[in-house]
């Protein structure tokens, strides 16, 4: 397959580029480098510095490369930025997605859209949440992702496409920026290594669903190969509290971690986990990496100095 990965210089996208190349696919990357690094992109993949908000330039890149599949992972991913600058977020996450769909329509490419399961379901959603729960996002980022999904599904109805949506849980692993705004596993591992105390907002009993980046990538490959349209949750189905996560990191670090407690952040969801039975049934996908193993790999990667291309 010839695959264009938008956001391919980022955390998930660069792992996906590696995996596609490893199985013999041809890969190009489209990334504006706002958070991406070219040193993460495997040498065999050509990188185009382009923003998905620039519809004309993107269409030219897609028109030249003529991919069979576009894995659309480029996004403004910071929920707090989306609250402060919702128009900027919508520009990247809504208009950018429409531009990708239009470029795909012009060339006949299929699109795989990286959405979120972590912040798309509302606070009253049953846990673990299934795909048929009505999305009620609490942030502009969640609304924009939901809107992107709606466009993807519309293109399937309107133009007979077979595009697909993956709703990722909290993806973690090597190459996630330990200094970034998202990615609590990497942030806490880096703090443990630096001998710093992590800050826990609220009582630390709030839960999230963590999925290892290698499993998120295998979900992309399974959805790419299936060729079928659909929307799938990609998570472990397991609720893990912030305090449990800290205890797990402490076991890997070999010393106790004593967090600092701060007031709960307004708007933060108390619980989250995704039911991924549909992905298991339709795609034969399962989250196979146990959290303690994935956490240990992330810790070792940070301990090794966060190398871009190996070290875990
Ligand atoms: N990491 C998670 O836990 C998680 C959870 C749910 C969904 N997702 C989604 O998965 C995708 C990848 O996330 P990630 O964690 O790898 O983030 P990331 O920030 O590491 O990667 C995103 C990449 O997109 C690029 N980018 C940003 N805006 C762009 C634009 N306008 N045009 C072109 N490139 C642009 C960035 O430079 C970066 O390389 C995103 O769509 C994100 O919303 C991630």
Tens digits of residue pLDDT in 122-149: 888 999 999 999 999 999 999 999 999 9
Residue 108 has pLDDT above 80, yes or no: yes
Kindly report the CATH number that applies to the domain delimited by 2-172+209-236. 3.40.50.720
Is residue 114 within 6 Å of ligand 1 at its C-beta?
yes
Choose one of 5, 8, 9, 12 to mutate for the ligand 1 pocket test, by most ligand atoms within 8 angstroms of C-beta: 12
Residue 197's pLDDT is 95
Ligand 1: nearest atom to the Cα of 51: 32
Mean pLDDT score of the chain: 96
Q: Which residues pair with 114 in a beta bridge?
A: 166
Domain range annotation of the chain: 2-172+209-236
Residue 153 has pLDDT above 90, yes or no: yes
Tens digits of residue pLDDT in 226-261: 999 999 999 999 999 999 999 999 999 999 999 999
| Interval between CA 75 and ligand 1 midpoint (Å) | 4
The pTM assigned to this predicted structure is 0.98
Is residue 77 within 6 Å of ligand 1 at its C-beta?
yes
Tens digits of residue pLDDT in 31-85: 999 999 999 999 999 999 999 999 999 999 999 999 999 999 999 999 999 999 9
Residue nearest to atom 27 of ligand 1 (CA): 75
Tens digits of residue pLDDT in 163-209: 999 999 999 999 999 987 779 999 999 999 999 999 999 999 999 99
Residue nearest to atom 43 of ligand 1 (CA): 77
Q: What Rg value do the Cα atoms of the chain yield, rounded? A: 19
Ligand 1: nearest atom to the Cα of 213: 1
Is residue 10 within 6 Å of ligand 1 at its C-beta?
yes
CA–CA dist 17, 75 (Å, integer):
16
Contact status, residue 213 vs residue 174, Cβ threshold 8 Å: yes
Angle at 7 between CA 170 and CA 268, to 5 degrees: 30
Residue-by-residue DSSP string for 273-284: -B--HHHHHHH-
Is residue 34 within 6 Å of ligand 1 at its C-beta?
yes
| Interval between CA 158 and ligand 1 midpoint (Å) | 27
């Amino acid at each position: 397959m010839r695959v264009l990965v938008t956001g391919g210089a980022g955390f998930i996208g660069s792992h996906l580029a590696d995996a596609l190349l490893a199985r013999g696919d041809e890969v190009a990357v489209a990334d504006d480098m706002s958070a991406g690094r070219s040193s993460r992109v495997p040498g065999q993949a050509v990188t185009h510095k382009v923003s998905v908000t620039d519809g004309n330039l993107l269409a030219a890149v897609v028109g030249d490369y003529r991919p069979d599949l576009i894995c659309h992972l480029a996004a403004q991913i910071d929920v707090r930025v989306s609250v402060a600058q919702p128009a900027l977020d919508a520009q990247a996450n809504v208009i950018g997605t429409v531009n990708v769909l239009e470029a795909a329509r012009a060339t006949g490419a299929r699109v795989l859209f990286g959405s979120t399961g972590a912040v798309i379901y509302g606070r009253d959603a049953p846990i673990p949440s299934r795909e048929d729960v009505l999305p009620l996002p609490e942030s502009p980022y969640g609304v924009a992702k939901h809107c992107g999904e709606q466009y993807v599904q519309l293109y399937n109805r309107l133009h007979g496409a077979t595009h697909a949506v993956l709703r990722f849980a909290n993806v973690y692993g090597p190459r996630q920026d330990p200094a970034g705004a998202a990615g609590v596993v990497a942030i806490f591992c880096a703090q443990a290594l630096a001998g710093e105390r992590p800050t826990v907002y609220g009582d630390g009993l709030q839960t999230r669903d963590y999925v290892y980046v290698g499993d998120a990538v295998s979900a992309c490959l399974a959805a790419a190969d299936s060729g079928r349209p659909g929307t799938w949750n990609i998570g472990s189905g397991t609720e893990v509290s912030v305090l449990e996560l800290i205890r797990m990191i402490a076991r890997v670090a070999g010393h106790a971690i004593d967090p600092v407690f701060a007031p709960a952040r307004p708007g933060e969801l108390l619980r989250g986990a995704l039911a991924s039975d549909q992905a298991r049934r339709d795609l034969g996908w399962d989250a196979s990496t146990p959290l303690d193993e994935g956490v240990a790999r992330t810790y070792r990667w940070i301990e090794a100095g966060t190398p871009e291309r190996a070290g875990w």
